[in-house]
Amino acid sequence: MVAIVRAPHREPGYERPSNPSLDEQLADALVDGPFHRALGLAVEVSGLSLQRLQTKLAEVGVHLSTTTLSYWRTGRSRPERPDSLRGVQVLERVLGLPPGALAGLLGPRRPRGRWVRPEPGVVRVEQLLPMANVVAKLARQLEMPQVMELDRISSEDRLWVGPDRTLRRVFVRQVLRAVSDRVTRTFLLHYGEHSVRTPSLVSTRYCRIGRVRADHEARFLGAELILDRVLTPGDTTIVEYELDMAYCADAHFERSFRTGGNQHILQIQFDPAAVPIRCMSYRRAGPEAPHDDVQDSWINQELVAHVARVELEPGLYGMRWEWD
């Protein structure tokens, strides 16, 4: 038996209880949204598992995977196609909700594609990486949001160059802060123009690997990283991952920043058999822009060069090196 929870009429001066019950939270969510919160609370109140919900939907001809239902519940995606919207109507009946209780929280369909205008101060990801068409394709496949959900507080890249002068590994550590509600994932895009094969994601820490997409002809890797907990605005998390760069012969590496970042550290470890004669840090506004703020980077006794930057502007920050 599933209880029917109806959206309450709000009298002037209404105040939420300081410690509302689950039913009260659901009643509020059916008025204020967002959709994923209302759905999640309705499922919790019903006591039904996602597998059971999937079965009930299938009984009336609506076929949705438990993954899709989970994504709707956590806000990672939302129903937009006609069959999905029909599924929402059936969900309302199964969960004992009034007709339109969930569908009314969806609002207009979200715009998609490169024409979506990001918030002020945010540069599109395809504006900062080469082969914008490939980047846009991978972003669509991974359902990367145009709206920034995470603010990058700091980013650290550690690189290893082998004796044959190829880039072998890249270790990345980022400290992220949520600026949206119920953030569950972040993304990576890496490019190895002169790699033997497409770079690959070999390990993670404080997160797990979700969807992975690649354009092998372009040597572009895109991946979704699932965070170890759901973040609300202001929450911070650490994400670490390591890439096999597939013997990349590029003599440079750069990190893109869609918004200004607080800190970026880039460190390169050279093999004793492959020490460059010069190493320089730089910044540029985009993949076709000239290198600005070029400065020599000292290679120390441990054969490590590094650059540390703070208070960054949107753009590309990197290091290049020259062989004899």
Domain boundary residue, one of 71, 105, 139: 105
User: Do residues 95 and 288 lie in contact, with contact meaning Cβ atoms separated by under 8 Å?
Assistant: no
Q: Are 94 and 144 within one domain?
A: no
Q: Are 48 and 134 within one domain?
A: no
To the nearest whole percent, how much of the chain has pLDDT over 70?
86
pLDDT of residue 76: 63
Distance CA 20, CA 28 (A): 10
Is 136 part of any domain?
A: yes
pLDDT band at 230 (very low <50, low <70, confident <90, very high): very high
Domain span at 169: 125-322
Looking at the DSSP bridge assignments, the partners of residue 165 are none
pLDDT of residue 300: 96
Choose among 99, 72, 80, 244: nearest CA to 172.
244
pLDDT of residue 112: 43
Output 319 or 66, whichever has higher pLDDT.
319
Choose among 31, 2, 8: nearest CA to 95.
2
Q: Are 68 and 155 within one domain?
A: no
Both tokens of 157, joined, read: 């890249």
pLDDT band at 163 (very low <50, low <70, confident <90, very high): very high
- Give the chain as a 3 state SS string: CCCCCCCCCCCCCCCCCCCCCHHHHHHHHHHHCCHHHHHHHHHHHHCCCHHHHHHHHHHCCCCCCHHHHHHHHHCCCCCCCHHHHHHHHHHHHHCCCCCCCCHHHCCCCCCCCCCCCCCCCCCCHHHCCCCHHHHHHHHHHHCCCCCCCEEEEEEEEEEEECCCCCEEEEEEEEEEEECCCCEEEEEEEEECCCCCCCCEEEEEECEEEEEEEEECCCCEEEEEEEEEEEECCCCEEEEEEEEEEEEECCCEEEEEECCCCCEEEEEEEECCCCCCCEEEEEEECCCCCCCEEEEECCECCCCEEEEEEECCCCEEEEEEEECC
Both tokens of 293, joined, read: 């703020």
Distance CA 151, CA 159 (A): 23
pLDDT digits (tens, 9 = 90+) for 45-95: 988 888 888 888 888 888 877 778 887 887 766 787 777 788 888 888 888
Residues 105-135 as b or e (16 or more Cβ within 10 Å = b) = bbeeeeeeeeeeebeeeebbbbbbbebbebb
pLDDT of residue 3: 40
Which CATH number characterizes residue 288's domain?
2.60.40
pLDDT of residue 13: 46
Residues in the chain: 324
Give the mean pLDDT of the chain: 84
Is 70 part of any domain?
A: yes
pLDDT of residue 1: 34
Domain boundary residue, one of 105, 133, 164: 105
Domain boundary residue, one of 105, 135, 160: 105
pLDDT of residue 87: 84
pLDDT of residue 297: 95
Q: What angle do CA 109, 25, 69 make, to 5 degrees?
A: 45
Q: Tell me how many domains the chain contains.
A: 2
User: Do residues 207 and 241 lie in contact, with contact meaning Cβ atoms separated by under 8 Å?
Assistant: yes
Q: Are 62 and 196 within one domain?
A: no
pLDDT digits (tens, 9 = 90+) for 118-157: 454 566 766 777 778 888 899 889 988 877 889 899 999 9
Distance CA 258, CA 260 (A): 7
Is 17 part of any domain?
A: no
pLDDT of residue 126: 67
